[in-house]
Structure 1
Amino acid sequence: MTIDYNLLKEKSTVIRRHIIEMLYESASGHPGGSLSAADILTTLYFHEMKVDPQNPKKEDRDRFVLSKGHAAPVVYAALAEKGYFPKEELYRLRKVDAMLQGHPDMKGTPGVEMSTGSLGQGFSASCGMALGGKLDKKDYRVYTLLGDGELQEGLVWEAAMSAAHYKLDNLTAIIDFNKLQIDGPNEEVMNVDPITDKFKAFGWHIIEIDGHSFEEIIKALEEAKSTKGKPTVIIASTVKGKGVSFMENAVEWHGNAPKAEEKDQALKELGGEAND
């Protein structure tokens, strides 16, 4: 398969611009962890996953679960760009009776596989989806994105143990390892390191990458598909707020929406309007 890196770069930039504008319109939400995951979601939806926006419930589709549900804007932006729903819906984020709420709703949003928000539960659900695929002898794959702060949840490790026990090699977990959470650096709030050793002890195949390198993301996803007998976790080192200078590595942008001047500066840095 020919890889169009220019397309991936363009899509990730548009997705980041969508994130900024939709959060400005909603006046609430989570920019930092949405921006850090944009390159990962771009690669999944525009290169890797077998999905059909015209048939969101197609039986043999690949599944994506956003376990860190507060980063919903990055998923909404990717789904809109993929054609699951009109892009105009993005700018109604968190409005009363809008399709897109602060956390993903599988009953209200085409393309959302699992309602998430309580950290750790999305990861557990993805394990169930992967196990169901195994039992039904289906060849779809399941992908789930976790925040690094989310690894502080005990439920995560119950799911990790279960996935290894059932040899869910059709499951790939991706850690958005941006090293920050709402209260500060992970190492100060509740240190999650060493992530690699923890997942290895739980029986997972480990891959460590730069989460902003499309080449490394794609190579890791290929390695995950070729790994048999155990699930794979991709530990993707990322920058919180990636792409917007004043948001990068700034914990205060975990859950604050930009004001007008901040929105304009962010869009300028990202190269133009978000809804073109």
Structure 2
Amino acid sequence: MRIKFLIICILCVFTATSQELNAIVSMNTDQVTNVNTQIFKNLEKQIFDFLNNTKFSNKEVVKNNEKVNCSFFFIVNKFESNNFEVTLQVNSTRPVFNSTYTTPIININDKEVSFKYIEFENLIYDQNSFTSNLVSVLSFYANIVLASDADTFSDKGGTEFLETAFNIASVAQSSGFSGWVQTGKKTNRYNLISDLMSATFDSYREALYIYHIRGLDVMADDLKTGKIQIGSAIQTLLDLHKVRPNSLLARTFFDAKTDEIVSVFSAGPVIDVSKIKDNLATISPLNSSKWNKIR
């Protein structure tokens, strides 16, 4: 009886401390030579442990099926004296209701990631202080992943995580590392979180909600209605485009969704796609060759 009680206690502790991310981490080192590759393997493991074992919210219990599937892919461009310059690709997905399909949510490429890492140093999460640029970058994108996922399930459901990401970025601004301050580059962390926190770009977050809850999530039961609602989400993005043309968030949306949108409107029950194609071409002209595949 005592053993059974202890097992129950252990299981309760494990559940209470369960974390929010189910992250895959990989590191490409093809561009660096004549170095001990073990440091990269150790770094990869520490990043994996950090992302999967850190609590990024105050939620007490996170079930396994509630964890957000994501990947952090590092390309090491330069390594010297414990200093890293890398390109970071962050992706996340979420399941679609009543199906085996998983839909991409974000697909972000950050080319301004540099940090110093001493092998086996502790990576400790603290949104209110700057301990290392590696920790700040990982924490920032972990919260962006969680915010984007939450926004697909409820209208502006990710606000808590965006506020945390904004705080992390604000604290990191004085560090001197690139990506945290406003520059001529549109695609950096500063601009990403500034736009996500701005009421001007609420339409982006609204579009995420409509696209997934009213669109993809109903398609198992009603394909035509789902397609119409996805068209409505694209209209919402067009309204944003009229106010802020060529915005970073519009590009962020289509970096994740272009191929899926083509697939959605190229199969199943026929609806009038002429207006949808025109809207897509207006918002994202760089993808016009793909929009032309929609019939």
**TM-score w.r.t. structure 2 length?**
0.29
Choose between structure 1 and 2: higher strand proportion. Answer: 2
More helix by share: 2
TM-score by length of structure 1 reads: 0.31
Structure number with the bigger relative contact order (C-alpha 8 A, sep ≥ 6) is: 1
